[in-house]
Structure 1
């Protein structure tokens, strides 16, 4: 496992595979939102913790980016990614349980078997070159809160914004701390004192990229508000 984000495959392999204009293009569509909704719904059914659901979303995005097309069997790939993510995040769910729950949860889709889920997991891993470690914005948000830069209520709002970000491509084209600060700034937009506290931290990072992240999160909120 990489000691830190800057030495990780997430930065060196995945982030580096996007051009400098990635943030200037749309980062979500109906399909990306639907994938995240499927992951949240089935992940909750499996009682997989939220961070593992987020990891599953990132792994699926990496796979789609690697193969350049979306899988035809969405439910099967969502199932396999959640199964894999539960192991990556050290909250494993037995494949027997995953299979049984998937059959009940998606009765009209392809009936997954243990072997089919395992084969799909192996297929995903091969296209990811087994790079499955995911760094998330959550630790940065927790650090900001521990340093008393934001309130508990602002932390909760920012946390929700980070959760929503997994319906976008931001986890592939932004550093985790950029998403965290974008969410924190939005969460305390009406609190001048909190913004003042955050200012020294913002001087150390690319404000243009933070602003772009905020714009994408705002656009997503508008899209979700219409649905």
Structure 2
């Protein structure tokens, strides 16, 4: 593992440019609208969250799984691998990378079946269709697409450090932590460094609780414009949630995704 973020593959290979991200999604945006694509990513991020909570994984593992999924679709079209397969595969891989321990094959598949049936029945009328051999094959393609860059730095640790330095109350930290979780439903984790995301979420939490942090931020040596840009991503997410009824809309969006062939094509093929 890299000794620090600046020497890691996360910083050197996986802080992407917004224009590159948009370009990579062009094939998918010919099928989905610009409003539907983020709704789809939110849905599968929620699925990963629910799988992780049911499997009693730490939030760090869930966050890493979400980033893995987003990294794959930052390089590949939705038609390469069904997101319904990639989501549990990302959880399976993240549990090993974050040294949580390997999830048993039977437990992973049974959890997927239970979660899809009980929590996401409004989106899927049939049971979870994949088995462990599909997950293991998908894991290979996921590893290859990420060029085996498995180290993911998360905003949680810097968030806690910054809050302690500011002397913030526990409820401000708790809200900041929740906002970090919400940021995983945006593209922020692909475009910005974890410490920048932590600062944006910290600032939003301080504003909500009217915690004075002006002097603290004034002394920072960072690009505040980037912090505000992250804030916009998160606020846009909250604005979307006000009018978005996932239970009513997601089934029709899922039906528009082109179905991959049984054998996944080489990652990167369009």
Distance 1:53 1:192, change over 3 A: closer
Distance 1:206 1:123, change over 3 A: same
Q: For 1:22 and 1:71, how far apart are their aligned partners in 2?
A: 17
Name 2:10's counterpart in structure 1: 10
Q: For 1:183 and 1:119, how far apart are their aligned partners in 2?
A: 36
Name 1:219's counterpart in structure 2: 236
RMSD between aligned residues:
2.3
In 2, are the aligned partners of 1:188 and 1:195 still within 8 Å (CA)? Answer: no
Distance 1:195 1:99, change over 3 A: same
How far off its partner does 1:211 sit? 0.8
Distance 1:183 1:12, change over 3 A: same
TM-score normalized by structure 2?
0.75
In 1, are the aligned partners of 2:163 and 2:202 still within 8 Å (CA)? Answer: no
How far off its partner does 1:103 sit? 2.7
Q: For 2:93 and 2:57, how far apart are their aligned partners in 1?
A: 11
Q: For 2:77 and 2:91, how far apart are their aligned partners in 1?
A: 21
TM-score normalized by structure 1?
0.88
Q: Deviation string for 1:24-73 (max 9, x for gaps)? A: xx897211211211111121111111111110110001111122435552
Distance 1:207 1:22, change over 3 A: farther
Look up the SS of the partner of 1:147 in the other structure: helix
Distance 1:57 1:70, change over 3 A: farther
How many residues are aligned here? 222
Q: For 1:70 and 1:40, how far apart are their aligned partners in 2?
A: 23
How far off its partner does 1:159 sit? 0.7
Q: Which runs of 5+ in 1 are unaligned?
A: none
Moved over 3 A (4+): 19-23, 68-72
Structure ID, larger Rg? 2
Which deviates the most, 148-157 or 128-137?
Answer: 148-157
Look up the SS of the partner of 1:188 in the other structure: helix
Q: Does 1:77 align with 2:86?
A: yes
Q: For 1:43 and 1:150, how far apart are their aligned partners in 2?
A: 29
Name 2:206's counterpart in structure 1: 188
